Amino acid sequence: MLKLPIYLDYSATTPVDPRVAEKMIPYLVEKFGNAASRSHAFGWESEAAVEEARDEVARLVNADSKEIVWTSGATESNNLALKGAANFYSGKGKHVITVKTEHKAVLDTCRELERQGFEVTYLDVLENGLVDLDVFKAALRPDTILASVMFVNNEIGVIQPIGEIGEICRAKSVIFHVDAAQATGKVDIDLNALKVDLMSFSAHKTYGPKGIGALYIRRKPRIRLEAQMHGGGHERGFRSGTLATHQIVGMGEAFRLAREEMAVENKRIGALRDRLLKGLSDIDQVFINGDMVHRVPHNLNISFAYIEGESMLMAIKNLAVSSGSACTSASLEPSYVLRALGRDDELAHSSIRFTLGRFNTEEEIDYAIKLLHEKIGKLRELSPLWEMVQDGVDLSTVQWAAH
Amino acid sequence: MAYSVKVLDHYENPRNVGSFGKEEEGVATGMVGAPACGDVMKLQIKVGKDGIIEDAKFKTYGCGSAIASSSLVTEWVKGKSVDQALDIKNTQIAEELALPPVKIHCSILAEDAIKAAVADYKKKRGE
């Protein structure tokens, strides 16, 4: 029996895997000790759990557990990485490089760095959403101290060439930060091989709980940061605050499951995504946003031309999807990520993001395909743009009364 | 975003969707908005010889509130003279549909569509 609505918004957040929740619960009531309590068994028990989880996070990305610092989530990790590194190394230079399609947690932090006197270059991307390595190289300056590029884009799911960018940065001694919130469990991450200095993680995008994340801080060569949160000196002074043992245990378990299951899971989810794409491919005037090859298997971002995204969401309310990104859908502006790809505003307004996950089934995807066919037909009947195009009008030649 | 019952009703069952034949007598068209802004409304009125709007049809590219606003005005203009139709104000549309502040522009666009259709009618009659 199909349960409605169907959740197809796994890049917004994922449910906590029941196996993760089960592992977390004892750390709320029975094993409640403060991991910083060194004087009794309650503290030791929590500390051991925290370190086991830290090890699991490190193992997923082939890092040393001493390089992992707990935070409240990827937003805090991005803030700590960018502000912490920029502030610590400001004596070396004041220039920072990032990309226009980054998450707001990076872009807004960069805006703050600008207010603090840093200079930030926001790079354009190619039409497929990927960073052009030559453009990246050209943006480097003698006073560049820091670069930040996301591993996987949250809206279009494209995978940036992190290996190549890392080599470029290392050769120029530029600290390289990567927001990997959308990448864990989706792509193989080997921090032993990648020349990445700082990497942000989130638990709740990978079937862990909300409110917990981590920052990888490389030890060789050693990267230093200025702390943003001061207090009891937890996490070797990088991030003070009593550790949320139950959340940390949840993140560790979620990342352990990701490590063990991602190869099989990504194949299954990729097949569902391809089934969805195939099911929609007979619809006229449908455009995929972002590169289809360098892309995580669970993401499909499509523009249904001549249908406005919000009315589409209303029409398919039995599908939990997003138009643009969940963070910006409260505003009327079309997605800044799609605009950065050079998509015209009409197609940006018409985009829907489907992100599939662990608990989706073929039956759900087939329901979605059927529903989309019905509603697209209905909404195009309602669309004056569709009518004009059918009559052979080239919309780019129309003089619109802008308002 | 939560939509009002009236917006949902017009969205689910839009009234008077469609287009009149281009050569039909007494038909005037108002097209407002722009694809880049996320909404385009096409409102057509069919005016009888007595100057009364006999029928109206719309097509809208836009959010649910834009579709509901244009659906509503097709009902409201029917039976009115073209000058009476011009008295329909966006505030009335917004109130009827209980539009939230971020959707007021939809009601403004619907008012503009009426004005544009009436202007087209008057232009065609050489007024």
Per-residue pLDDT of chain A (403 residues), as tens digits, is: 799 999 999 999 999 999 999 999 999 999 999 999 999 999 999 999 999 999 999 999 999 999 999 999 999 999 999 999 999 999 999 999 999 999 999 999 999 999 999 999 999 999 999 999 999 999 999 999 999 999 999 999 999 999 999 999 999 999 999 999 999 999 999 999 999 999 999 999 999 999 999 999 999 999 999 999 999 999 999 999 999 999 999 999 999 999 999 999 999 999 999 999 999 999 999 999 999 999 999 999 999 999 998 889 989 999 999 986 333 344 557 788 999 999 888 888 889 999 999 999 999 999 999 999 999 999 999 999 999 999 999 888 888 875 5
pLDDT of residue A232: 92
User: Are A307 and B11 inside 8 Å of each other by CB?
Assistant: no
Contacts of A385 in chain B (CB under 8 A): 35, 40, 61
Top-confidence range, B38-42, B70-74, B102-106: B70-74
The sign of the torsion formed by the CA atoms of A396, A401, B3, B4 equals: negative
Interacting residues of A106 by C-beta distance below 8 A, sequence separation 6+: A78, A82, A98, A148, A150, A179
User: Are A308 and B11 inside 8 Å of each other by CB?
Assistant: no
pLDDT of residue A1: 79
User: Are B61 and A310 inside 8 Å of each other by CB?
Assistant: no
Please give the Cα distance from A179 to A289 (Å, whole number). 21
Whether residue B31 contacts residue A384, with contact meaning beta carbons closer than 8 Å, is answered with yes
Given CB atoms, is B30 within the 8 Å cutoff of chain A?
A: no
Given CB atoms, is B38 within the 8 Å cutoff of chain A?
A: yes
User: Are A400 and B62 inside 8 Å of each other by CB?
Assistant: no
Please give the Cα distance from A13 to A216 (Å, whole number). 21
| CB-based burial, A273-299: b 16+ in 10 Å, e otherwise | bebbbebbeebeebebbbbeebbbbbb
A327 noted as active-site residue: yes
pLDDT of residue A349: 86
Q: Which of A73, A30, A42, A14 is nearest to A247 (CA)?
A: A73
Interacting residues of A331 by C-beta distance below 8 A, sequence separation 6+: none
Distances in whole angstroms, Cα of residue A368 to Cα of each of A290, A315, A316, A346: 21, 12, 8, 24
| Identity of the residue in B32, B59, B64 whose CB atom sits nearest the CB atom of A310 | B64
User: Are A402 and B36 inside 8 Å of each other by CB?
Assistant: yes
Name which residue leads in pLDDT, A299 or B21. A299
| Identity of the residue in A332, A401, A403 whose CB atom sits nearest the CB atom of B102 | A332
Distances in whole angstroms, Cα of residue A112 to Cα of each of A87, A90, A115, A147, A213: 12, 14, 5, 15, 22
Question: Which of helix, strand or coil describes residue A158?
Answer: strand
Taking the model in full, what pTM does it have?
0.93
Please give the Cα distance from B42 to B31 (Å, whole number). 4
Q: How far is the first Cα of chain A from the last one, in angstroms, to the nearest whole number?
A: 47
Given CB atoms, is A140 within the 8 Å cutoff of chain B?
A: no
Which candidate in A327, A371, A385, A389 is catalytic? A327
**Average pLDDT value for residue range B84-102:** 94
pLDDT of residue B40: 93
pLDDT of residue B1: 60
Nearest chain A residue to B57 by CA distance is A382
**Residues of B with active-site annotation:** 37, 106
Given CB atoms, is A326 within the 8 Å cutoff of chain B?
A: no
Given CB atoms, is B2 within the 8 Å cutoff of chain A?
A: no
**Average pLDDT value for residue range B28-41:** 90
Q: How far is the first Cα of chain B from the last one, in angstroms, to the nearest whole number?
A: 44
pLDDT of residue A348: 86
User: Are B66 and A395 inside 8 Å of each other by CB?
Assistant: no
Distance to chain A for B80, nearest Cα, Å: 24
Please give the Cα distance from A54 to A203 (Å, whole number). 12
Nearest chain A residue to B108 by CA distance is A403
In B5-118, which ranges are E strands?
27-34, 39-47, 53-61
User: Are A310 and B63 inside 8 Å of each other by CB?
Assistant: yes
Please give the Cα distance from A99 to A125 (Å, whole number). 7
pLDDT of residue A324: 61
| Identity of the residue in A314, A330, A400 whose CB atom sits nearest the CB atom of B34 | A400
User: Are B59 and A382 inside 8 Å of each other by CB?
Assistant: yes
Please give the Cα distance from B108 to B112 (Å, whole number). 6
Pairs across A and B, CB distance < 8 A: 85
Whether residue A231 contacts residue A210, with contact meaning beta carbons closer than 8 Å, is answered with no
Contacts of A330 in chain B (CB under 8 A): 1
Nearest chain A residue to B18 by CA distance is A382
Given CB atoms, is A320 within the 8 Å cutoff of chain B?
A: no
Angle, CA of A346, A314 and B69, to the nearest 5°: 75
pLDDT of residue A332: 59
User: Are B61 and A384 inside 8 Å of each other by CB?
Assistant: yes
